[in-house]
Structure 1
């Protein structure tokens, strides 16, 4: 096993690998049992949108050799209207945060099934903070309330639930990590 390298995404191949990992772990492509045990991702991005987001502020990835084994997407608030399912999240954030605070959205985090329980989730977030804490006050994400594995993992990093809401039958928790 090669060492895990944390870096910012910089190639089309890395973005395509993010997309492949996303599809493998999408809530539509895994069993209910696996969702409970392993967690899941909800949103699916096109490679074109991943590229636009990456150009604005590069995504955080974990690689073993040439293989992307984990990712934490970076989404600036100016992408708020690009993914329809995320619009309510941005509206809620605007209603609870002070306008003089800056934030970035952790658009999604995922670790390859074969690489879980090796500290990569925490490594992605540690690298994320190192890279972006001087530009933003907060890192914000949202987690489906039924995704208990993800809720627990985010709380262990230092995220706190600041709001929750229901949209199309799904209860969402907005989580904030205060970097200041």
Structure 2
């Protein structure tokens, strides 16, 4: 049975990083990247733990194994990950004055558990567990990641803005 909760232990954070490694473009084929989606950011334990200490990451656990995660990234980490810095600049352009959002820093479901509603349930749990005063989840999706764009749209994310950063088209999306 799959359970959803906030990450609490170092072992859970290590399992997040292991699942992340299995889904980075450098570790999957181009075909798999196209069909199954891919991750953009490679975290290290220090930043993952610091983010978790502020707002626990949401994990899906099956038989004591993390099989999915949604990383909670409080806006105070806006400068912590270089590739995500432009996202926070764009967020500040479209939600001027509104600071009660949580950025979802990355979402991933293990290949063995895809198509079982875990993606949706990670977001539902994240919304439930947002700190008091937070009412919106914002993230961005690489325009080439069609599977992720479709999945976000299917659970109610709306597009705030599409923008270019470097050579990538990003879709800034929100769930309220």
Q: Is the CA contact 1:101–1:137 (under 8 Å) kept in the aligned structure 2?
A: no
Give the match for residue 12 of structure 2.
14
Give the match for residue 113 of structure 2.
115
* In 2: Cα distance, 1:48 partner to 1:100 partner: 28
Q: Quote the offset at 1:98 in angstroms.
A: 2.9
Consecutive unaligned residues in structure 1, runs of 5 or more: none
Q: Quote the offset at 1:71 in angstroms.
A: 0.2
Report SS of the residue matched to 1:117. coil
What is the TM-score normalised by the length of structure 2? 0.97
Give the match for residue 158 of structure 1.
156
What is the TM-score normalised by the length of structure 1? 0.94
Of 95, 98, 111 in structure 1, the residue corresponding to residue 96 of structure 2 is: 98
Aligned-pair Cα RMSD in Å:
1.1
* In 2: Cα distance, 1:12 partner to 1:82 partner: 20
Q: For residues 70-85 of structure 1, what are the structure 2 equivalents within 5 Å?
A: 70-85=68-83
Q: Quote the offset at 1:130 in angstroms.
A: 1.3
Of 64, 67, 74 in structure 1, the residue corresponding to residue 65 of structure 2 is: 67
* In 2: Cα distance, 1:126 partner to 1:86 partner: 23
Q: Deviations over 1:117-169 (max 9, x none)?
A: 11111111111111117431210000000100000000011101111111221
Consecutive unaligned residues in structure 2, runs of 5 or more: none
* In 1: Cα distance, 2:28 partner to 2:92 partner: 33
Q: Deviations over 1:31-82 (max 9, x none)?
A: 1110111111100100111100000110000001210000000000000111
* In 2: Cα distance, 1:73 partner to 1:52 partner: 11
* In 1: Cα distance, 2:12 partner to 2:30 partner: 29
Of 132, 137, 140 in structure 1, the residue corresponding to residue 138 of structure 2 is: 140
Equivalenced residues, count: 176
